[in-house]
Amino acid sequence: MCGIAGFTGTPDLDLLRTMCHAIIHRGPDDEGYYEDPQVSLGMRRLAIVDLESGRQPLCNEAEDVWTVFNGEIYNHLVLRRELIRSGHVFRTDHSDTEVIVHLYEEDDEKWVTRVNGMFGLAIWDKREEKLLLYRDRIGKKPLYYALKNAQLVFGSEIKAILKHPAISVELNYKALHRYFGLKNISAPDTAFKDINQLPPGHLLVWKGGEIKIRPYWNLDFSTPLTDISEEEASQRLFDLFEDSVKIRMQCDVPFGAYLSGGIDSSSVVAMMSRHHSKPVKTFCLGYEDKPEGQFLGKAQDIVYAREMSQRLGTEHYEYIIGAQQFATQMSEILRVFDEPFSGTISTFFISILMNKHVKVALSGDGADELFGSYLAHRLAFPIDNLLAMKRRGINNWHNLASSDREAIRPFDTPEQFRFLQTVASPNIAEWRNRLCVFSTAERRQLLSEEFLHAAGNPDTDSLYQGLESELTARDVLNKSLEIDQQELLPNQVLAFVDRLSMAHSVEVRVPYLDYRIIEFSNRLPGKFKIRNGIVKYIHKRAMEKLLPRDLVQRKKEGFVQPIYSWMHGALKGWVEQHLDSLRGEIFDLSYVKKLKRRFWTGDQTVNAKIWNLVCFAIWYQERPS
């Protein structure tokens, strides 16, 4: 695991080192550089595999193919044996990085289809004088780039690219406009006009001052498995999951796992325990400030994690944070992202603890986006069924038959039914937009005329419309899952998993997002994923082979912190201070004032909006300028 950076054009070793030093947290163990008259490649190394001989950059036998690599190739040992049989000579003992250059010799640009892993990497082909950038299939590892004056600049994080003197810090207002709806910036855009992010599953080729970008892998829901039984599906999923966990335990350094006590993290730890002779090191986050209301369930995570640790015999560690530590470190957290971000950030705090014990950790991330758990997933079938009821003239909760209420579960109470009616639309892009932090209409009120003009007045701009037009899924739940695998997963979930763990030099591996599991789960019909209001149904069926039934049925919210509770309590003054710092050239301050008034009176419905604005305010104050 590493951080990489580089550029084409006139070599400049001091600049290359400066770019790499900006991401030293991604690789504190070592550094390496390669230069020729056309390209400069650099890296910072976090040594995980082949500690002694796996230094980068690495090249092939003829020294005309070079690579710098951030990530892991989990099937590298199998590939190495195949390549040796084909006549390739390896210089390292068992480096997964060296496999890349030999595979490229064999298969040219298509080499990437043979690997199972996570990566953001660059390959310099001296023979054809071309530089290639690759990002893994689902986007676990980041890779940013900028094309300026026909020269390419790239890096694992934006901060590395911004060290290059040709790259401007001018903001991308259209991308920032979307932040206020989604909590994050979405690839290929970034918060900076000059810089783009390579989308997941894509290849960029720079040659002769021009770039071409194309996908080498796509999400595909188009061929559902219609003749598979639940038992067959659950067994196949279990087998894939077992192998996925096993290959992610291969490393030459201490490793462990996140453990919240929910089904996803517990499944990972239980499977690790099956295939590890020593107790697995596990880690959980707790809170010294007692949360209130809907967040009381989160306080139980540490209790459930302890219970699961005892059942599995793990070596368990806990990290306890409070509201003041959370607030104090928010500036540092947003500097890690380089962009505004108001999603989950708890990974930052648990990684402080993990860094003291392990270099690698497995997590349960990805299961929600594969099998259905979030509100947008739970709404999919009920919205579809509600629309069918309306076509039959049923518009009132009191007129629902028992079968109708069954069809819209868990939105079958009067209050939830009203919510369902408010959100529902035949157009998935429209109802997904209604779930945004600020809808498109609300952003027109929130943002200043100056900002909206700079963003191109995006009144009709809808990310979801673009995604909906290219969906391959057939049923409504799989359509919602496909949207989240395209957008939420790589741009928010995997972004916080990577950035916040690597901020403390911890590599996170995600077994659920093995591409084999993704391809299989995406062929399962939606009815296998949420059934009668039971989320992740087929996943729970599969894990019954591994976990006690009471744990399988436990509801889980994930690794989040009770920020909304703190906002109305210990951090209320801190929140108001940041809201007061919002600038009139970006916001309509009269609208912000109305939100503040609602927040101050205890209105819980504005929590997500207030937190979104606070995170933006902190980032904007800390941004490069």
In this predicted structure, what is the pLDDT of residue 463? 86
- Produce one character per residue of 77-111: b if its CB has 16 or more CB atoms within 10 Å, e if not: eebbebbeeeebebebebbbbbbbbbbbbeeebeb
DSSP at 291: P
C-alpha separations of 458 from 10, 516, 613, 620 in Å: 39, 38, 19, 21
What is the mean pLDDT for each group of 10 consecutive residues in the chain (625 residues)?
Answer: 92 97 93 96 81 80 96 96 95 92 96 98 97 98 97 98 98 96 96 98 97 98 95 98 97 92 94 94 87 50 89 95 95 97 95 96 97 96 95 90 92 95 94 94 95 85 86 96 98 97 96 98 97 93 90 62 89 96 96 96 95 98 89
Cβ within 8 Å of residue 95, ≥6 positions away:
49, 50, 53, 54, 58, 76
Classify residue 29 as left (phi > 0), alpha (psi -120 to 50) or beta.
alpha
The whole-model pTM stands at 0.95
CATH of 2-215, one of 3.40.50.300, 3.90.1300.10, 3.60.20.10, 3.20.20.80: 3.60.20.10
Q: What is the largest CA-CA distance in the chain?
A: 77
What token pair was written down for 267?
A: 């499944």
Count of Cβ atoms closer than 10 Å to residue 215 Cβ: 12
Count of Cβ atoms closer than 10 Å to residue 396 Cβ: 10
Listed as own residue / partner, the contacts of 237-240 with beta carbons closer than 8 Å and 24 or more positions apart are: 237/517, 237/520, 237/521, 237/538, 237/539, 237/542, 238/542, 238/543, 238/545, 238/546, 240/514, 240/516, 240/517, 240/520
| Contact (CB, 8 A) for 291 and 553 | no
Domain spans in the chain, listed from the N-terminal domain onward = 2-215, 230-326+339-371+487-558, 374-484
How far is residue 48's CA from residue 71's CA, in Å, rounded to a whole number? Answer: 10
How far is residue 370's CA from residue 373's CA, in Å, rounded to a whole number? Answer: 9
Cβ within 8 Å of residue 347, ≥6 positions away:
496, 497, 500, 501, 508, 559
Q: Which one, of 322, 618, 358, 614, lies nearest residue 501 by Cα?
A: 358
How far is residue 312's CA from residue 351's CA, in Å, rounded to a whole number? Answer: 22
How far is residue 27's CA from residue 5's CA, in Å, rounded to a whole number? Answer: 12
How far is residue 280's CA from residue 167's CA, in Å, rounded to a whole number? Answer: 45
How far is residue 210's CA from residue 365's CA, in Å, rounded to a whole number? Answer: 37
Residue type, 166: A
How far is residue 244's CA from residue 117's CA, in Å, rounded to a whole number? Answer: 10
Q: Does domain 230-326+339-371+487-558 correspond to CATH entry 3.40.50.620?
A: yes
Cβ within 8 Å of residue 12, ≥6 positions away:
40
How far is residue 23's CA from residue 70's CA, in Å, rounded to a whole number? Answer: 12
Q: Which one, of 332, 237, 352, lies nearest residue 615 by Cα?
A: 332
